[in-house]
Amino acid sequence: MNTKKLIAGMLFIGFCLVSHAQTTNKSKGDQDNLAKEYFSQIMGVAVNATTNTKLYQFVYDWLGTPYRLGGDSKNGIDCSKFSLAVYENVFNTTIGYNSRNQFDNVTPVRKNDLQPGDLVFFKIRSKSITHVGVYLGDNKFAHASSSKGVMVSNLNEAYWQRYYYNGGRPNKDDSRTMTADASSY
């Protein structure tokens, strides 16, 4: 009789451990799905495009930060320091300190081939690059606007279409190049 109670107790404990492990794994997956759905709604990007939750969380945390030329904190930030902060914190790589320098450190990417995390460059009333943002998917990009601070905009808006120059992805020969594989984060 004692052996039966011992076996029953061990089976019960084993069942509880397996059940807990399955619940933990399921809740982690559920949390990721909820985060993706939330960021999808906030940023206007399709759920299937929100593969890198870390990227969207970082952008979300900075939304509304005021613009400040040369700024690099939540008190104020400019476009190139924002894209630099994204790359340093999300992709663990450095890309340059101004929009022109960042463009020099990327491989150009056609607009139709942009992937979340790519950079988008603009020539606003200039012959040289004057603005940079981080592509999020579905033609949306995050950037530090001089009028509204850190925000998400649409590349299809007339203003951005007019000044769009090119997209870019960090050069492959840099050992610290970011990857679009979100599973490594």
Active site residue 131: yes
Active site residue 16: no
Q: According to the model, what pLDDT value does residue 170 have?
A: 86
Task: Give the pLDDT band of residue 181 (cuts 50, 70, 90).
Answer: very low
Q: Is residue 177 predicted with pLDDT exceeding 50?
A: no
Task: Give the pLDDT band of residue 169 (cuts 50, 70, 90).
Answer: very high
Tokens representing 138 are 């579905």
Q: According to the model, what pLDDT value does residue 7 have?
A: 52
Of the residues 36, 81, 131, 169, which is catalytic?
131
Active site residue 20: no
Average pLDDT for 50-59: 81
| Closest by Cα among 141, 151, 137, 100 to 120 | 141
Tens digits of residue pLDDT in 34-47: 555 656 555 555 54
Of the residues 143, 150, 167, 178, which is catalytic?
143
Of the residues 45, 79, 90, 150, which is catalytic?
79
More confident residue, 33 or 139: 139
Tokens representing 73 are 């904190």
- How many CA atoms within 13 Å lie on the side-chain side of 106? 29
